[in-house]
Structure 1
Amino acid sequence: MSLEKRKYARIPVDERCVIYAGIEEFEGNIVNISENGVGIKVNKPINCSKLTFLFVDRKAENFSKRNMYSCKARVVRRAEDFVGCTFARTFEISEFINRRRAEDFFKNKGACSC
């Protein structure tokens, strides 16, 4: 297993997740883990240029900061057919950042200076 693959190995496939695009919140599912990042499918198209943070396993009954993974999201590959589309429902993200910044973001709801 490569170093990149190990980096994402703790993230469970088929887990529910929440994506933040700016301060907008979208629910989705993790569909695959690859060396490039984490494949996400969301319930409606997101403007990929505004993608900011990913929180995994945010279920009302057991959500806590321990259950979240954070990332400064950079879209690696969009699965949409048309080139140049900024909105996508399926894409890969990478460039994970540290948990502290994500906690700051979550506390201030979008006021993180990342």
Structure 2
Amino acid sequence: MFVNFFLEVKRAGIPTSLREYLTLLEAMEARIVEFSIDEFYYLARSAMVKDERHIDKFDRVFGHVFKGLEPIEGEEVVDLPEEWLRKMAELYLTEEERQQVEALGGWE
């Protein structure tokens, strides 16, 4: 199940061995972590990354493999349509919080 993850970690240039991959599988079989992506992340990182210089690479690989995240360019983040922001506000902000946003000049 995690073969693709292991191969992506290797492709990213993170020096991890088959033994470290097997350690991760053994930990999963022993149910050291269950049903939490955050716990799995820390388990996988501790099993497969032995040098802190590779943590950023690991984070990118983990995000790509398990969360389906693609790298986001800065412009893509900035160019969110105003309509999306309003819809998100309707879902997550209270009426009082929405009024505060409008009092500060709106969504622009």
**Which structure dedicates a bigger proportion of its chain to strand?**
1
TM-score interval, normalised by the smaller of the two chains = under 0.3
**Which structure dedicates a bigger proportion of its chain to helix?**
2
- Whose Rg is larger? 2
